[in-house]
Chains A and B, each alone.
Chain A
Amino acid sequence: MNLLALIAVIALSLILFFTKKTEYKNYKIAKIMSTLLFLVFLFRLFTTEDALNNVFNVLLYDIDTPRNAAETWLFSPGMTVIIIFLRWLTMASLLWLVLAPYIKVPAFNILGQVVGTIVGVLNLVFFEQHLIAMTNNPDMLTFKAIQYLIETALLLFIAFSSFLNSLRNKEHRYSGKEVLWFFLVFAGSLFAVMPQTMMYNLFGYYGEVPDEFTMSHIFVIVFPFALIFLVNILMKNRSRISKEALIAYIVFAAFTQYFYMRRETLEALPLHLCNTAVVLLLLAYVFKIKGFFYFSYFANVLGALAAILLPNYSSDLFSYSVIHYGYNHLYAFITPLLCVSLGVFPRPTLSHMYRAILVFSGYFVAVVFLNAWFNNYANVDYFFTYSDFLTDMFNIKEIQFNHIIEFTYKNLTFRFYWLFQTLYFLVFIVLMFASWYVYDAFFQMSDQRQRLKAKQRLIKIDKLKLLELLDGRKPSEPMNPGGKDMIKINHFSKKYGQSERYAVKDFSLEIHGGEIYGFLGHNGAGKSTTIKSIVGIQSITEGEIEVCGYSIKSQPLEAKLRIGYVSDNHAVYEKLTGREYINYVADLYLVPKKIRDERLNALAIKLSLIDVIDQMIKSYSHGMKQKLVVIASLIHEPPVWILDEPLTGLDPISAFQIKETMRDHASKGNIVFFSSHVIEVVEKICTKIAVITQGQLTGVYDINVLKDKNISLEELYMRGINQGNLAVDYV
Chain B
Amino acid sequence: MFERIKILTLLQLSNKTRLFVKGSKRIYAHIAIRAFIVVLLTVIVTLVLHVLKNIFYIPVNEFLMIFILILTQGLNIVVSTISLVSDLYQSKDNQILFSLAVKNDEIFISKILVYYTNEFVRNLFLLIPIFVGFGIISNLGFLYFSSLVFIIFLLPIISIGVSSFISMPLAYFLNYIKKHSILSAILSLVLVLLLFFVTYLVVNQIPTPIRIVQLYHRFIVSLTIAIQRIAQYGTIYTIIGKMLFGINYLLNLLILFLAVGALVAINYLVSKPVYFRLMSTSQENTVKKNKKKAKPKESKSLFLTFLWKEFTIARRSLNELLSNYALLLTLPFFMFVLNYIYMGMNRSSFGNQVVLVMNVIITLLIVTGSNTASATAITTEGYEFVLLKTAPYNTSKMAWAKITFNFCFTTLMIALSFFLFSRALPLFPKGDIWLLLIFVILVNSGHILWSFQIDLLDPKLSDYASTGSITNNNNASKSLSNGLFLALFFGVIAVLGFIIAKDVGWMLMIGLALMFLIYRLFSFRAHLGAYFDDIEY
Contacts and interface: CB of A to CB of B under 8 A. Distances in A.
- Binding between chains A and B: yes
Interface of A: 212-213, 218, 448, 452, 455-456, 459, 532, 535-539, 556-563, 565, 567, 569-573, 575-577, 579-580, 583-590, 592-593, 596, 614-616, 618-619
A558 B393 CA distance: 9
B389 A537 contact: yes
Given A456-B530, A584-B309, A567 B383 contact: yes
A570 B384 CA distance: 8
B260 interface: no
B534 A615 contact: no
B500 interface: yes
B189 to A, nearest CB: 20
B387 interface: yes
B534 A539 contact: yes
B302 A588 contact: yes
Is the contact region of chain B dominated by helix, strand, or loop, or is it mixed? helix
Contacts of B385: 571
Contact of A537 (B390, B496, B529): B390
A627 B397 CA distance: 28
A584 B530 contact: no
A721 to B, nearest CB: 28
Contacts of B298: 583, 586-587, 592-593, 596
B534 A585 contact: no
A557 B287 CA distance: 38
Interface centre among A576, A583, A585 (most CB of B within 10 A): A583
Contact of B393 (A456, A576, A590, A592): A590
Contacts of B100: none
A588 B526 contact: no
15 contacts: A218-B501, A455-B531, A456-B530, A537-B537, A573-B313, A573-B384, A575-B312, A577-B294, A580-B296, A584-B308, A584-B309, A585-B387, A587-B302, A589-B391, A593-B297
Given A569-B465, A571-B384, A573-B384, A589 B290 contact: no
B536 interface: yes
B467 interface: no
B297 A560 contact: no
Contacts of A592: 298
B289 interface: yes
A589 B392 contact: yes
Interface of B: 285, 287-290, 293-299, 302, 305, 308-309, 312-313, 316-317, 383-395, 457, 465, 496, 500-501, 526-527, 529-531, 533-534, 536-537
Contacts of A593: 297-298
A587 B312 contact: no
A557 B389 CA distance: 10
Contacts of B496: 213
Contacts of B309: 573, 576, 584
Contact of A536 (B294, B316, B389, B457): B389
A671 to B, nearest CB: 16
Contacts of A580: 294, 296, 312
Given A459-B530, A596-B298, A614-B290, A557 B393 contact: yes
Contacts of B526: 452, 456
Contacts of A213: 496, 500-501
Given A561-B392, A614-B290, A618-B287, A588 B305 contact: yes
Contacts of A212: 500
A282 B371 CA distance: 48
A554 to B, nearest CB: 12
Nearest to A455: B530
A125 to B, nearest CB: 50
Nearest to A559: B392
Contacts of A596: 298
Nearest to B398: A588
A235 to B, nearest CB: 22
B534 A567 contact: no
A571 B383 contact: yes
Contacts of A562: 392
A577 B501 contact: no
B113 to A, nearest CB: 36
A657 B176 CA distance: 38
Given A560-B390, A619-B285, 16 more contacts: A213-B501, A452-B526, A456-B529, A459-B529, A532-B537, A537-B389, A558-B392, A559-B392, A560-B391, A560-B392, A567-B386, A570-B383, A572-B384, A584-B309, A614-B293, A615-B289
A456 B285 CA distance: 49
Interface centre among B496, B531, B536 (most CB of A within 10 A): B536
Q: Which 6 A-B pairs have the closest CB atoms?
A: A619-B287, A561-B392, A213-B501, A560-B392, A587-B305, A593-B298
A654 to B, nearest CB: 19
Contacts of B287: 615-616, 618-619
A364 B302 CA distance: 64
B387 A579 contact: no
Given A539-B534, A588-B387, A452 B527 contact: yes
A575 B313 contact: yes
A583 B296 contact: yes
A616 B313 CA distance: 11
Nearest to B534: A539
Contacts of A560: 390-392
A588 B313 contact: no
A213 B501 CA distance: 6
Interface centre among A212, A455, A570 (most CB of B within 10 A): A455
Contacts of B290: 577, 614-616
Given A213-B501, A583-B296, A592-B298, A571 B394 contact: no
Contacts of B386: 537, 565, 567, 569, 571
A162 to B, nearest CB: 47
Nearest to B313: A575
Contacts of A590: 393
Contact of A539 (B285, B457, B536): B536
Interface centre among A532, A558, A563, A573 (most CB of B within 10 A): A573
Nearest to B382: A571
Contacts of B534: 539
A573 B299 CA distance: 18
Contacts of B393: 557, 588, 590
A575 B316 contact: yes
Contacts of A569: 383, 386, 465
Contacts of B529: 456, 459
A539 B534 CA distance: 8
Nearest to A577: B290
A459 B531 CA distance: 10
A358 to B, nearest CB: 29
Contacts of A559: 392
A559 B390 CA distance: 9
Contacts of A557: 392-394
Interface centre among A532, A571, A579 (most CB of B within 10 A): A571
Nearest to A214: B501
Contacts of B288: 616
Nearest to B527: A452
